[in-house]
Amino acid sequence: MRDINIYNTLTKKVDKFVPNEPGKVKMYTCGPTVYHFAHIGNLRSYLVEDILEKYLRYAGYDVKRVMKDGGVFITSGIIHDRVDMVCEKLEATGFEVIEKRA
């Protein structure tokens, strides 16, 4: 496994990456915004997370990534459940939907 160094914005120093469990990394990340056109503001975080996952795998780590899909939207205090629409769009772009909660 390769050593990975990450810039810590809190301490403003470069720290060695040490996973909680040797050789394994668990990631919980936000998914892409799929209810409207993508733009650089919401695409950036998704790309960074995706690149980080791929690099960790390349470096030899066993990576388990769970992605939040953003299936509930809140507008003017009213909750609109759009799970089916979000899941359809995710599946159309190649994501596997494991569980739907309505």
- Provide the whole-model pTM: 0.62
The low-confidence residues of the chain, meaning pLDDT below 70, are: 31-38, 69-86, 97-102
Q: Which of 14, 95, 2 is nearest to 55 (CA)?
A: 2
Radius of gyration, CA atoms only, the chain: 17
Task: Report the greatest alpha carbon distance in the chain.
Answer: 49
Residue 93: predicted pLDDT: 79
